[in-house]
Chain A
Amino acid sequence: MEEFFNKIKENFKDATLEFETINIQIDSTDWIEVHKKLRDEFNLKFFSWLSAIDWDNEVSVGEAPKESVSPSFEIITCLSDLANTNLVTVSTSISKSEPNINSLIEVYDGANWHEREAYEMFGINFENHPNLEKLYLPDGYEGNPMLKSFELISREVKPWPGEVDVEGMPEESESDESSDG
């Protein structure tokens, strides 16, 4: 893993290795060239997945990020090599007001359905995609469910009471070291 990471670091300046995952950060204008280079020169021909993260300070589900972030979409792809353990994630940021990015169809055939899912869940527009339409949700569904501003209506009506601690067995009061709740 170390020598592969060194080879990557020579070619791309923003590469990090943390928790055994290599991440390359690039600009959204270089999206297609970088993927072509990774596919041809580094032999990363296996297209694993493509998805997005919604970074926002006001969230209606879950917890807000601890440090404040500038609202943006982060698009991530994951590529790997079948002959050994090389695996790379590539990420880029695009703005929320104009979410446009090039489609990866010309580089990898398998990006088709992943991009349709990202379009439907986040509202990101992939240019040059042959048929960008809904994949999962029924016709006439309004809204993009994975955005942080999308509410879960069932929780608004009756909020979750929080994590309730299970009562221990009567003989368990002497030994309390390992947690099994």
Chain B
Amino acid sequence: MGVVDKFGLPKPISSVFNWARSYSLWYFQFGLACCAIEVMAVSGPRHDFMRLGIIPLPASPRQADFMIVAGTVTDKMAPSVKRLYDQMPEPKYVISMGSCSNSGGPYWDSYSVTKGVDQLIPVDVYVPGCPPRPEALQEGIILLQKKIRGEDMKEKWLEVQTEPI
């Protein structure tokens, strides 16, 4: 993408691209604990998130756009989280759902819990709650969509730091 690095994209084109990207997200579900049941409830018929453009369950992380880390991350699971995050291609985003993955949550003093998933991977949106209500998760997704729509492609390509596996 040498053109984008050197000259940047003009505003009308980048706003069309960002609009298209924000409404066709395919998320990689990292449902570990109780918050995974809330994610299932959000994908159910009452609070439906397919109307926002989110589709669940890609076949593998290599086809996913963003990742919802829902639940407690333990020290034994931490290498898997990092590895699966690295397997996702750019551009990728992370939503950290629930207080266990925000900062350790009710298990902050345990001997086997990682205090927050942002010690391993960069997080874009934090959704607080234990577990967060389905409406709170929907607001988190809408915030992520707003963030994607306001992105500048040139800056995003230049700040890529992780090497994909």
Contact = CB atoms under 8 A, between A and B. Distances in A.
Instruction: Say if the two chains contact directly (CB < 8 Å).
Output: yes
Contacts of B112: 136-137, 145
Which residue, of A137, A145, A154, has the highest number of chain B Cβ atoms within 10 A?
A154
Nearest to A157: B109
A155 B108 CA distance: 9
B110 interface: yes
A56 B18 CA distance: 63
A138 B108 contact: no
A152 B108 CA distance: 10
Contacts of A154: 108-110, 115
A128 B68 CA distance: 45
B75 A145 contact: no
Contacts of A145: 111-112
A141 to B, nearest CB: 8
B75 A138 contact: yes
Which residue, of B75, B109, B112, B115, has the highest number of chain A Cβ atoms within 10 A?
B109
B78 to A, nearest CB: 9
B76 interface: yes
B76 A137 contact: yes
Interface in A148-171: 150, 152-155, 160
A160 B115 CA distance: 16
Nearest to B78: A138
Interface in B100-133: 108-112, 115
Contacts of A152: 109-111
A158 to B, nearest CB: 9
Contacts of B76: 137-138
A153 to B, nearest CB: 8
Interface string A13-25: 0000000000000
Contacts of A138: 75-76
B87 to A, nearest CB: 21
**What are the 10 tightest A-B residue pairs by CB atom distance, in nearest-first order?**
A154-B109, A138-B76, A152-B109, A155-B109, A145-B111, A138-B75, A154-B108, A152-B111, A137-B112, A137-B76
5 contacts: A136-B112, A138-B75, A150-B111, A153-B111, A155-B109
